[in-house]
Structure 1
Amino acid sequence: MSVLPGKALILVENLSVPFDRRVWQECQTLRDAGWEVHVICPQGTKRDTEAEVTIDGVHILRYPLKAATGGPAGYVQEYGSALWHTLRLARKVGRVDVVHACNPPDLLFLVALYLKRQGAKFIFDQHDLCPELYLSRFDRGEDFLYRAVCALERRTYKTADVVIATNESYKDVAVKRGGKSPDDVFVVRSAPVVERFHLVPAEPELKKGKPHLLAYLGVMGPQDGVDYALRALASLRDEVGRDDWHAVFIGSGDAFDAMVALSKELKLDDQVEFTGRISDEDLLRYLSSADVCLSPDPLNPLNDVSTMNKIMEYMAMSRPIVSFELREACVSAGEAALYAPANDEPEFAKLIAHLLDSPEQRAEMGELGRARVAGPLSWENSQKALLAAYAAAVR
């Protein structure tokens, strides 16, 4: 049975749109399929600052939001404000056929409940496993707040008509822990638009006089492993005896300042550069000049089962990768990466050194990675799964 496109409302709390690339790709896919697409999200600080805008046919409403700082108490204030603004703007959008909520947090089901009473179907787009995120980020164990996070996840699953998972590991959680039917869970892998990532002429000056450039791209939060990468680089210099490299860390996050301080503590500040967030053009310049890309996410309950966007984007740029051995990292990168035992910083350093000495292997790994994101892991395949999820929701 064919499904006529209708009106969709996408809810996002932790990033602005279109800065959130996965959500923006979903918006564009739905728009191209004939859906009327609305988005509610926070305002950015340096981009995506307009309160209301229509971009390429997608209507976006944004609200001011101060990101949490400190411990869990800060998130109560952040999430409370986000919920109030989201419900306020959802009323402005009016009746919709589908409300599509992207976590974290697992609180947007409350807005979905309001819209379901008006006839909407609810699609839960699970970007993160929040119980595992809590354990990995706060190191507080399975305390009262952890149990509360689990309860919110259960309620979100129960409210959802359809669940979108980012990989098979997340789908398994939705079925086993969330009690969803496998037929109501669709894997929509995050995948870069390959055409957006293309090599540009390498710029030797980005290497700051060194033969090699190492690159990290991504968020810098407590669970993202930038500290592991920095300690591995110190090991590369001090234990492996290699100082023929310059490293660039691209991105930002609430651990950014701490990571800059750690680089100074490790006496790496003359070889390590932190750019913050940069333009797409500058990103292509750095990645085109990089010899090895770093994916230092440590083994923890969240990272082991999560698909890392940085890995997908490295592969789209034909770059070889060094990663810790995580379940979903291996699924994503395959032979495009070398894997150190989980959280083993000295071994991570040795693998970097090996690749610096192996230009032919680096080129072969880069080609394998590019083929993966252009083929079996492409956004084209994810598009089909996304539209199938919408069809299932409104059938």
Structure 2
Amino acid sequence: SKLGYMFQYCLFILIAFMMLTLRFPTRRYHVVHIHNMPDVLVFAALVPKLFGAKVILDLHDPMPELMMTIFNVGKESWAVKTTAFLEKWSIAFADLVLTVNRTCEELFVSRSGGASKISVVMNTPDEQIFRYSPAKLDVARVPRKGEPFVIMYHGTLVERNGLDLAVEALAKVRRSIPGAELRVYGPRTSFLDTVLSGLPEKELEKAVHYLGPRTLEELVQAIAQCDVGVIPNKRSIFTEINTPTRIFEYLALGKPVVAPRSSGIEAYFDKDSLVLFELGNVDDLAMKLSWVAIHPREAIETTKHGQVIYQKHVWSREKEKLLGLTAALLRRGDKLS
């Protein structure tokens, strides 16, 4: 509930404020890097900032849009208006603001006017775990009649991420590709249980496999065993602006990925570098998954183009950008003794 979120956030902000305040006399922080949510957690760094420390606010998710999606409320909701107000003041308080993609950057600038302090550092996979593998056609994995065509979903199993759409699309794909199956990875949720309970009605009990949560290293192995990754997001104001890290995880390992056509994704990819479907459209999702199965060579060519974009944003490059921004921030201010 909204009140539950507020209570948890307020308690955590208080604990963080006390810890930073009590530690500051002995630690003398030069920089405090704070991740949302919530945005107002940045005020936990009040005391270090008063004594000259620089404060970085890392906005991974825009809270107003996420709140609208989770609680199904409109922009005029008091809760959304409040989070937008707090976002603006949190950005004003910070010395540097980071966010995860160009679409979010434009959104935060439009609401805060703080263009000079907002930069993008993308959240891309750890290259030491997701070691780059050039996309190539694995003849042994080209689906033949009666053989499996493995579709993979991994991540948070909540409604906005659209696992139920992936299941509906699977039922359509299996009409022409009977060996198609869906492997699902992630912590169990009530939403997942609801989706799984509907499988018998769709006659998909043997085609959908829930395999539980996995470590990042285990996910690498799972991706290697799939034919295509799927990002089956439902349409919402949040999924319109999101750029899922999972896209880069599949691309890093040379696997085709079917992802939604949205501003957060199309800020980086086009139809030549990613297999795109209309956000929230199950028929189009099914058609694009079938296309990957029927045209594996073309799908691999698309993946190769996607890998070119991925390599521009590998974590080693994004990390250097983060370190450079932090160093520049510290140079602009007086160092603490």
User: Same-fold call, TM > 0.5?
Assistant: yes
Q: Report if aligned partners of 2:261, 2:277 keep a CA contact under 8 Å in 1.
A: yes
Aligned match of 2:164 in 200, 211, 227? 227
Q: 1:347 to 1:85 in 2, by over 3 A?
A: same
Give the whole-Å Cα distance in 2 for the aligned partners of 1:96 and 1:203.
55
Q: 1:89 to 1:363 in 2, by over 3 A?
A: same
Q: Residue 393 in 1 paired to residue 326 in 2?
A: no
Which residue is equivalent to 2:101?
167
The range that moved more, 344-353 or 210-219, is: 210-219
Aligned partner of 1:317: which letter? L
Q: CA deviation at 1:273?
A: 1.4
Give the whole-Å Cα distance in 1 for the aligned partners of 2:266 and 2:8.
34
Q: CA deviation at 1:370?
A: 2.9
Q: Report if aligned partners of 1:228, 1:298 keep a CA contact under 8 Å in 2.
A: yes
Q: Residue 270 in 1 paired to residue 206 in 2?
A: yes
Q: CA deviation at 1:287?
A: 0.5
Q: 1:253 to 1:330 in 2, by over 3 A?
A: farther
Q: Report if aligned partners of 2:170, 2:180 keep a CA contact under 8 Å in 1.
A: no
Which residue is equivalent to 1:86?
16
Q: CA deviation at 1:174?
A: 2.5
Q: CA deviation at 1:236?
A: 2.4
Q: Residue 116 in 1 paired to residue 87 in 2?
A: no
Q: Report if aligned partners of 1:312, 1:332 keep a CA contact under 8 Å in 2.
A: no
Which residue is equivalent to 1:125?
58
Give the whole-Å Cα distance in 2 for the aligned partners of 1:129 and 1:252.
23
Which protein has the bigger helix share?
A: 2
Three-state SS of the structure 2 residue aligned to 1:232 is helix
Aligned match of 2:298 in 358, 361, 374? 361
Once the two structures are superposed, residues 196-245 of structure 1 have per-residue CA deviations (whole angstroms, 9 ceiling, x without a partner) of 2246x9998xxxx84211101222223222222222223323xx443211
Q: CA deviation at 1:265?
A: 5.2
Which residue is equivalent to 2:335?
none
Give the whole-Å Cα distance in 2 for the aligned partners of 1:258 and 1:77.
28
Which residue is equivalent to 2:110?
176
Q: 1:302 to 1:370 in 2, by over 3 A?
A: same
Three-state SS of the structure 2 residue aligned to 1:307 is coil
1:88-107 equivalences in 2 (<5 Å): 88-91=18-21, 93-94=23-24, 95-107=28-40
Q: Report if aligned partners of 2:129, 2:217 keep a CA contact under 8 Å in 1.
A: no
Aligned match of 2:246 in 310, 319, 337? 310
Q: CA deviation at 1:134?
A: 0.9
Q: CA deviation at 1:315?
A: 0.8
Three-state SS of the structure 2 residue aligned to 1:276 is coil
Which residue is equivalent to 1:156?
90
Q: CA deviation at 1:303?
A: 1.6
Q: Report if aligned partners of 1:372, 1:378 keep a CA contact under 8 Å in 2.
A: no
Q: Where does the alignment leave 5 or more consecutive residues of structure 2 unmatched?
A: 333-337
The count of residues paired between Structure 1 and Structure 2 equals 317
Higher relative contact order (CA 8 A, sep 6+): 2
Q: CA deviation at 1:387?
A: 2.0
Give the whole-Å Cα distance in 1 for the aligned partners of 2:202 and 2:2.
30
Once the two structures are superposed, residues 37-65 of structure 1 have per-residue CA deviations (whole angstroms, 9 ceiling, x without a partner) of xxxxxxxxxxxxxxxxxxxxxxxxxxxxx
Q: CA deviation at 1:333?
A: 4.0
Q: CA deviation at 1:328?
A: 2.0
Q: Report if aligned partners of 2:277, 2:288 keep a CA contact under 8 Å in 1.
A: yes
Which residue is equivalent to 2:120?
187
Q: Where does the alignment leave 5 or more consecutive residues of structure 1 unmatched?
A: 1-70
Q: Report if aligned partners of 1:162, 1:392 keep a CA contact under 8 Å in 2.
A: no
Three-state SS of the structure 2 residue aligned to 1:107 is helix
| TM-score normalized by the length of structure 1 | 0.73
